[in-house]
Amino acid sequence: MVKNDNIEFLESRLPFWHDLTEEQKNLLISSSTVGHYEKGQSITGYNSECVGLIIVKTGTLRIYMTSEDGREVTLYRIEPGEVCVFSASCVLKTINFDVYIVAQSECYILEIDSLTFSQLFKENMHVELYAYKLATERFSDVMWSMQQILFTSFDKRLASFLLDESLNTGSDILYITHEEIAKHVGSAREVVSRMLKYFSNEGMVGLSRGKITITNKGRLRSLL
């Protein structure tokens, strides 16, 4: 059972809160726990137990898929205050593909167990509508990611990723490896390294071990 500050957090992040009965609110509170995950720690994955609904308090979660050869592609990220519904895919029967969830940074999350969420989903139409609305929004993110991979040239995808990371971190210095970038953009590390070397030769970025410095955002934007 969570503490009072987490109850307030639940209330502020779940639009259906005020449409729950007092009994349902108490059930949700008693079934919610705080989880702590280190960077790189998996939260759920293929054939793993259904976690339930996740709300991020601090940190960032990365949701991704893998190909048969083990290549990863990031579908979207969950930031503080946002809700992850794919972690409760066992409740939403229409979700029949497998995604992985990993902590991109150290995270504290609120977890509403799958049995409770399933019960509320069946009993309260506002919970059901919210879950499907959120799933629809996330599918839009998934489709955008797939579109980028299928129809956008790799130089544009990489430039877009670097610019987005700079915006998210508020810095032109990105502490990230070529392997990590490859997982985000759905490519091989060697391909990422070759394109980064080209960007470096063109004066767009500076490269050093575990670090990329954006030196010319205008040139990167011109690729988009």
* Domain definitions of the chain by residue range: 4-150, 152-222
- Say if domain 152-222 classifies as CATH 1.10.10.10: yes
72 phi/psi in degrees, rounded to 5: -100, 150
Residue 57 has what pLDDT?
Answer: 95
DSSP secondary-structure letter at 48?
Answer: P
Is the model's pLDDT at 93 over the cut of 50? yes
User: Residue 46: which pLDDT band, with cuts at 50, 70 and 90?
Assistant: very low
- Partnered with residue 187 across adjacent β-strands are none
Is the model's pLDDT at 95 over the cut of 80? no
Distance separating the N- and C-terminal Cα atoms of the chain: 48
Average pLDDT value for residue range 149-158? 84
User: Residue 91: which pLDDT band, with cuts at 50, 70 and 90?
Assistant: low
Average pLDDT value for residue range 206-210? 90
pTM, two decimals, is: 0.72
Residue 7 has what pLDDT?
Answer: 86
- Say if domain 4-150 classifies as CATH 2.60.120.10: yes
